[in-house]
Chain A
């Protein structure tokens, strides 16, 4: 008789995710999966809304990456209406977005992953948070908070607001920033670039120390394919061609966002609100990953000098294609460097001055666009009518792409650890590490996964046999 186990982090992430383990007759792990426990149903509720409001409305899908949704939506409506966005409109959207990426990557590195990096994954949970970092490492913490603030303020200066910006609209950017605003953005970007160079060495050092201290982390790896965006072969976050590479780094295919439905397919699980996505390659469905590690794996190189040098060093140390999920943090740092460098370049670019907005005229049509959200490829697809009303909407968000790989890693971890009964703290820790290294942002479907207490409910044919629980 087969059994099902539910690892339930309900007390920490409030019911938005838990883990399910299916056991076979012999009590061995058959499969494991992250259960996403909430649904808001944007693909239905967007229908009937005004297409021009999509950037502002879909920003509300995720308060962790609102600028990514706003840009993906604006670009999709640009495409649906054939709007000719002025160069300055594109450059300033990208600059705003670099601010957002600086903020988002900095939050992740210092507030979400930082506590693990600086204190170790087994340290006192009461101290293992951003407040603990502020107390124990006040200098690093202040600089990190400052870096995050600068990113968010760049995003806000050009977006009107930090969380849920309003200036990213179909046709470009809704206003021409004053010279004062541009001067302040340039100043902030310059300061951010200086700060990130100070912060990078201690982060890399902390990551190396963590891998040494917790060797199980280096064992969590997945040889998957990777999907991300390149422009002229170089990593790009705002726009470009989608590239899928195999686990060996070979390019499997490159395609435009508009063709996503030919290359990607979603499935459903009857036990989770989140849908996994697979890539279609030679008639087969392939598991792949997205996000910073995927992007640095598939790019030929970085467009900016410091980030490119950092990538070269990363590859010299870890190899051309890196599968260890914990090294995601290192990849994120390379992108953080890139975002700061790129922000300075864009802020100083004379082409980013002048008219930012093109007129938009609706005809019945479809628009598909994508952006590299901080955690991976984000796709928006709209059918609009001549009155400018959304008739259908389809979205694929970053964590969905990683979902199959997360579940595969969970299965591997559970197999390796074994399921030993109600007091199995080892299983809980192992599964928690596994999920954390993937940095799943469930906000886009639900919420960000912060930290995870674990509760495992062991079920047999749907009936709970016992719970494995870790309380503080």
Chain B
């Protein structure tokens, strides 16, 4: 970090506040950050009311409402460099699962046909109008730096800020979550998909080797791979690897299916079928981005309709 203070505006759109909290998870390093930057606008913690001009604009959250859209445009006007901070800003994130439903359907469930809500009607006055669907940030403004992660590990955030401040390219490798995973990948005789919760699993063996769906091999490491060490398969919260994003013929389900079928006796087609049936979970974080959504064989709406129709 430099000694001259660099001005920063922090902003959130449709998000959970987790990216903001992760900034505080710089722990002791946050004091270093305060030394290096002048935080001018950060709705969560500062009292500065306006959005002054700043060198860096850090935006978390997806564009869900017309108001989010307007705020994003204003941030673009006020900041020299815009960082799409976190999976929601980069790919639309978890609330992008709403892609599968119309706004009317969502409003109906929350306000009208809801088990504990009486006399309900969807709000229509004074509230911000929802966009037709969730949009990643770069569909409404140009973005200079993408930092996915739900939230990104503080190390990546610190490096990203340090790089933007110094005017250099951030040091962040294009590795998948497997890169740092400590589990052993080996060929097994497993013949059926395993949910992972019906019986004890081997904590040191690769999930794919055990027939359990894990998105580690198709997910970009912006987390330092902590989950597989504590018994949890990767759910892809940082979004897909560059390989998946940039090649039209590659997809989460086909890549996972190929690897799992090589490691086990489970046919690739069975893995694809399972992942399509669980599409709303497996594609939860990045379905709103055109890089995933525009793939010709990506039929997320159809898959979700199918699973919701089964009772």
Contact = CB atoms under 8 A, between A and B. Distances in A.
Interface of A: 6, 10-15, 18, 20, 35-45, 47-50, 52-53, 56-57, 60-64, 66, 107, 111-112, 115, 125-126, 128-131, 134, 145, 148-149, 152-153, 159-164, 166-167, 169-171, 173-175, 260-261, 264-273, 275, 357, 359-361, 381, 385, 387-389, 391-392, 394, 396, 443, 446-448, 450-451, 453, 462, 470-472
A270 B112 CA distance: 12
Nearest to A6: B126
B301 to A, nearest CB: 11
Contact of A265 (B106, B116, B229, B280): B116
- List of 5 A-B pairs having minimum Cβ-Cβ separation, nearest first: A63-B18, A174-B231, A125-B47, A175-B231, A41-B106
Q: How large is the interface on B (under 10, 10 to 19, 20 to 34, 35 or more residues)?
A: 35 or more
A450 B126 contact: no
B115 interface: yes
Given A35-B127, A448-B17, A11 B49 contact: yes
B121 to A, nearest CB: 6
A35 B127 CA distance: 7
B114 A38 contact: no
A80 to B, nearest CB: 13
Nearest to A81: B197
Contacts, number: 284
A393 B11 CA distance: 30
Given A56-B235, A260-B116, A396-B116, A450 B44 contact: yes
Contacts of A359: 197-200
Interface string B186-214: 00000000011111100100000000000
B302 to A, nearest CB: 12
Contacts of B27: 145, 149, 152-153
B90 interface: no
A160 B226 contact: yes
Contact of B106 (A45, A166, A174): A45
Interface string B91-116: 00111011011000111011100111
Nearest to A134: B34
Given A160-B232, A271-B125, 20 more contacts: A39-B127, A40-B14, A40-B64, A40-B98, A43-B110, A44-B101, A48-B308, A56-B232, A56-B235, A60-B93, A62-B16, A62-B17, A63-B151, A130-B45, A175-B232, A265-B117, A271-B126, A359-B198, A448-B44, A462-B125
Given A63-B19, A64-B17, A266 B117 contact: yes
